[in-house]
Structures are given as structure tokens and as C-alpha cells.
Amino acid sequence: MKPHLPHMNAAIEIAEKYQTPFGAALAMGDQLFVTAANQTKELNDPTAHAEIMAIRNLGEHIKKTDLSGFTLYTTCEPCPMCMSAAIWAKIETIFFGCDIPTISRFMDQIDLSCRDINQHSFRRVEIGEPVMPEACLELLRKFS
């Protein structure tokens, strides 16, 4: 699958708006459904990662937990929690900007790639090549 760059731009824009390196967008084909940013500090909730917030928002919007057919765009590689949520939500494809080794240069990370989690899962999510990594790296530089 080929990434839709405007959707990654939407993830970057919401991250900028919330002044965080972490933004996410969920889309189906050309249609963008939701964007979300990391809000762990604002909500005093360590699970309020951008990907989790996007999954919650979309589930509430469409009144379903099955997000089959949706693509997740995220500025940074999903952590183990977010990757697991994507698997449980049946998200079809994930595109991200910066990988975990890159993120680790700016902050603590659990050193387990989403590809490793995917490989050991009961279902597979298609994981694309990095999308707009330089723009996403700039978010890490600005907001970490």
C-alpha cells in the first residue's frame, strides 16, 4: 500500500498544534476520519498516546471497535501499547515517520519495534516504510 501524504501531514499538524512530537491520524483511502495528539500530561493519563487517542476517537465516532480497512498514520513508531491497540482494533495498515531507535535519542522508549510485536501477533498489520521522517524528526527536536 502506498501512503497518502496529506494524512501524514494531518498527523504532523495536530502534533504541532499540541506542541508534542506525537501526532496520529486514522484514514480509509483518501478520507481522513480523525486526528489526535499525545495528551498524557494534559489528561494525567499515561495511556493517552496519540495513537490510542485516535483509536478511541474513531471508535466513538463510528460506534465500532473493529477498525478493519483503516490506516493509521503516526509521527513516531507505535510503542508496544499502541501497536497492541492497533492489532486489537484490527487496523489494516500503519505508516510512521521516526522509528524507535531515533525516538530513543530524545527520550526513554521501550526498545521493542512494532514489527517485532506484529511478528508475534495472532493477526498481522501491514507496516509501511517510513513516511516523511525528516518532518517527524523535526517534531522530536522541537518538542522533546
Q: What is the tens place of the pLDDT at every residue in 60-102?
A: 999 999 999 999 999 999 999 999 999 999 999 999 999 999 9
Please say if 51 is a catalytic residue: yes
Residue 75 CB neighbour total at 10 angstroms? 33
CA distance 39 to 50: 7
Q: What is the tens place of the pLDDT at every residue in 89-137?
A: 999 999 999 999 999 999 999 999 999 999 999 999 999 999 999 999 9
- The pLDDT value recorded for residue 85 is 98
pLDDT value at 1 more than 90: no
Could you tell me which of 13, 21, 23, 19 has the C-alpha nearest to residue 95?
A: 23
The residue whose grid cell reads 501531514 is: 9
CA distance 13 to 20: 10
- The pLDDT value recorded for residue 106 is 97
Active-site choice (51, 60, 77, 134): 51
Question: What residue spans of 63-111 are helical by DSSP H?
Answer: 80-88, 100-104
pLDDT value at 52 more than 90: yes
Q: What is the tens place of the pLDDT at every residue in 25-40?
A: 999 999 999 999 999 9
CA distance 67 to 85: 11
